[in-house]
Amino acid sequence: MLSSVFFYLFAGICCLAGLMVVSSRNPVHSVLFLILAFFNAAGLFILLNAEFLAMLLVVVYVGAVAVLFLFVVMMLDINYSELREGFQKYRSLGLLIGAVLLVELFATFFEYSGNVKSLPSPGAVHNTKALGQVIYTDYIYLFQLAGLILLVAMIGAIALTLRKRSGVRKQVIADQNSRTRAETVKLAKVETGAGVKEAS
Amino acid sequence: MEFSQITISAALPEFILISLALVMVLIAAFAKQTETDGEGSIKLVRTLSLLGYFAAFLALFSVPDGRIVLFNELFAVNDLVIYMKGLILVGAFFASWLVSEQWGEGVDRPEFHLLVLMAVIGMLLMVSANNLISLYMALELQSLPLYVVAAMRTSSLKSSEAGLKYFLLGALSSGLLLYGASLVYGFSGSTNFEAIASSLSGGASVGMIVGMVFLLSGLAFKISAAPFHMWTPDVYEGAPTPVTALFAIVPKVAGMTLLMNVTYSAFGNITDQWMQILIALSVASMIVGATGAIMQQNIKRMLAYSSIAHMGYALAGLAAGTSEGASAVVIYMTTYVFMGAAAFGVIMTMRREGTPVEKISDLAGLSASHPLLAAAMMVVMFSMAGIPPLAGFFGKWYVFLAAVNAGLIPLAVIGVLTSVIGAFYYLRIIRLMYFEDSDAPLDDGASHQNRMILIISVGFILLFFFGIGTLSQEAVSIVSVYF
């Protein structure tokens, strides 16, 4: 009973937030609604006993992807009115695809008989623990491979974007800190009316 | 999982290269990046990676014979895989050896050799894949560094374009492959190749075949078989020349081996279904490769089309679906690696007043100014065109023989016809070198390693004649694991 209350709460907010993502005029608001949708989807996962997926959704999608979206939206100078014109242009195609998806969804809904094979029962262990039991033993090879791929991604991103430009005056803190007083300060006695000779 | 002696020795080449890569990350990070000291660190990294390829090659001899399955059945080695790993390491050694420290074009950085090493690790793991998940992960480990090195010349718009194109189309092909893999998993209930094969013993369902088509399309992209070849000419032209050499020599071998693994071990029970796909890929590649190269002015673009055609010929052997065809592919890929190394050995000596040139017309009059280089290029071009008794002839001979014996006579006829068309542009280069004059000859002085590579690979092409008997017997015995 309580779980179905929460299901309708999460699912309802999720749908509303999804609607707001595409309909809100301000792109920053869209991203914020997207984050709301992610949170509610995570709640749905928890109702399904998939707490690891819920955590993953929050950490990866809210923590990384949505923040990246926010950065892109706020830092890139995109003309949204032009984008909306494109939206009008492809509206018929979009409606067609949407209709196909809707028909598919209804077809699935009416075909659903309720006696499909249920999810495998989680058993005594939580799925985070169950994952932990195999990821470092049975699937250590894939785990290490994923690590190598991430290392490559990091090296590749740095190798492509880090470049040394000549003629740029960079601040070298170590050099500044190691300067002595004698190198930098010069006391000069200035005679009246003579001015200071130019610094050497 | 037990971590026994067998685990160590069967995956020893990979262990060596991965440890070396991690050491090289530290060297690249902490080495001084200034103008003068930077050269020292890149020299060190390059030498280390060459030593690594050599050590991994030696380590292949310690892998026990027969079929070994490791890491929860995710990783498998057999005789064919070991042979192909050897070929990949030889190709990678050539490709890294060709790059001198002074080449420039953005590849004069320690990260270049590091990324190439990572890609080679990915290729070695890829040919050992025994599961759809390990296949995909190894494929990504191989592709990601290659996207980066294609765009390594940050000052050049063409290089960035090459990197971007390669990345976008590569991501698309990964999507196709993953979609296919998910369908195959859904209809067979497992991602393991043996389990997929046993689920197919009673024939395949439609969903399974759709999945296989997507899977094979994704793999066809990786070996640039037509109609998934669109990226090849642009990427070959835009990438720095040493990177093009790498692309032309190594990843094709790994992709072809993976294709053999997937078709013969996972889909070995439904040969008739994938044969049609491979025949279509083969015919399209041979035609596109032969006709596309004719109009090219840039030698790298020309070799891109030539490599598409070569993949078409190799696929013809694979499409035969017999042990004879598989052994023909092994022979073909062996000759392909050496021909590629020799061709790029010549191209990378082409300089005029210090800057690299890459137009085909720049080769005019090469026989007068550089007789030995011209002779080497002539041998390579004759071999690629398939003139006996050079290596390329035997590669084609075995492939077409296998196709004819498998009853694919139209395929063999198209193959021979496209080789005739292909001979036109290979011979055009020879005509340019020998019968035309040039007012601005190319620079003298091929580097030491270029000369060594040319001696080794051209020697291989010329003397292949003597070794073909042994190699063909060996090839038949190593592919016997699948039949």
pLDDT single digits (tens) B245-261: 999 889 999 999 999 99
Q: What is the pLDDT of residue A48?
A: 84
Q: Say if CB B401 and CB B317 are below 8 A apart.
A: no
Question: Among B1-15, B26-40, B283-297, B327-341, which is the least confidently predicted range?
Answer: B26-40
Average pLDDT over residues B73-102: 89
Confidence grade of residue B143 (pLDDT, cut at 50, 70, 90): very high
Question: Quick check: B76 contacting A, CB < 8 Å?
Answer: no
How many beta carbons lie within 10 A of that of residue B16, not counting itself?
A: 19
Task: Indicate yes or no: CB of A159 within 8 angstroms of CB of B148.
Answer: yes
Q: Say if CB B215 and CB B208 are below 8 A apart.
A: no
Q: What's the pLDDT tens digit per position in A59-105?
A: 999 888 888 888 888 887 666 667 777 777 788 898 999 999 999 88
pLDDT at A163 over 90: no
Which amino acid belongs to residue B149? Answer: V
Question: Quick check: B111 contacting A, CB < 8 Å?
Answer: yes
The CA distance from A172 to A190, in Å, is: 33
Q: Which of residues 161-190 of B touch A (CB under 8 A)?
A: 163
Q: Say if CB B12 and CB B85 are below 8 A apart.
A: no
Q: What is the DSSP letter of B76?
A: E
Confidence grade of residue A114 (pLDDT, cut at 50, 70, 90): low
- From A147, which residue of chain B is nearest by alpha-carbon distance? B141
Task: Indicate yes or no: CB of B111 within 8 angstroms of CB of A149.
Answer: no
- Residues of B with CB below 8 A from A141's CB? 70-72, 74-75, 134
In sequence order, which ranges of B293-356 are alpha helices (DSSP H)? 299-320, 323-347
Q: Which of residues 104-163 of A touch B (CB under 8 A)?
A: 137-142, 145-146, 148-149, 151-153, 155-156, 158-160, 163
- Token pair of B342 as six digits: 């020799």
Task: Indicate yes or no: CB of A148 within 8 angstroms of CB of B145.
Answer: no
Task: Indicate yes or no: CB of B134 within 8 angstroms of CB of A145.
Answer: yes
pLDDT at B37 over 60: no
Per-residue CA distances from B23 to A149, B29, B94, B398 (Å): 16, 10, 22, 43
CA–CA min distance A12, chain B (Å): 31
Burial (CB count within 10 angstroms: exposed 0-12, middle 13-18, buried 19+), residue A182: exposed
- Residues of B with CB below 8 A from A153's CB? 144
pLDDT at B378 over 90: yes
Q: Say if CB B307 and CB B314 are below 8 A apart.
A: no
Question: Quick check: A165 contacting B, CB < 8 Å?
Answer: no
Quick one: how many helices (H) and strands (E) in chain B?
20, 4
Question: Quick check: B376 contacting A, CB < 8 Å?
Answer: no
Task: Indicate yes or no: CB of A156 within 8 angstroms of CB of B134.
Answer: no
- Residues of B with CB below 8 A from A139's CB? 72, 74
Closest to B27 in 3D by CA, of B150, B105, B110: B110
Confidence grade of residue A199 (pLDDT, cut at 50, 70, 90): low
Q: How far apart are the first and last CA of chain A?
A: 85
- Pairing state of beta strands B68-70 and B75-77? antiparallel
Q: Say if CB B187 and CB B211 are below 8 A apart.
A: yes
In sequence order, which ranges of A112-190 are alpha helices (DSSP H)? 127-135, 140-161, 173-177, 181-184
Residue B70: in which H helix or E strand, if any? strand B68-70
Q: What is the pLDDT of residue B184?
A: 92
Strand partners, B192: B131
Q: What is the pLDDT of residue A174?
A: 83
- Token pair of B422 as six digits: 């292909």
Q: What's the pLDDT tens digit per position in B449-470?
A: 888 889 999 999 999 888 888 8
The CA distance from B369 to B223, in Å, is: 36
Task: Indicate yes or no: CB of B71 within 8 angstroms of CB of A140.
Answer: yes
The CA distance from B476 to B478, in Å, is: 6
Task: Indicate yes or no: CB of A146 within 8 angstroms of CB of B111.
Answer: no
Q: Say if CB B191 and CB B133 are below 8 A apart.
A: yes
The more confident residue out of B354 and B54 is: B54
Q: What is the pLDDT of residue A173?
A: 84
Question: The tokens 């077809």 sit on which residue?
Answer: A107
Question: Among A170-184, B140-154, B193-207, which is the least confidently predicted range?
Answer: A170-184
Q: What is the pLDDT of residue A116?
A: 56
Q: Which SS3 state, helix, strand or coil, does residue B355 take?
A: strand
pTM: 0.87
Q: What is the pLDDT of residue B285?
A: 95
Inter-chain CB pairs, A–B, below 8 Å: 67
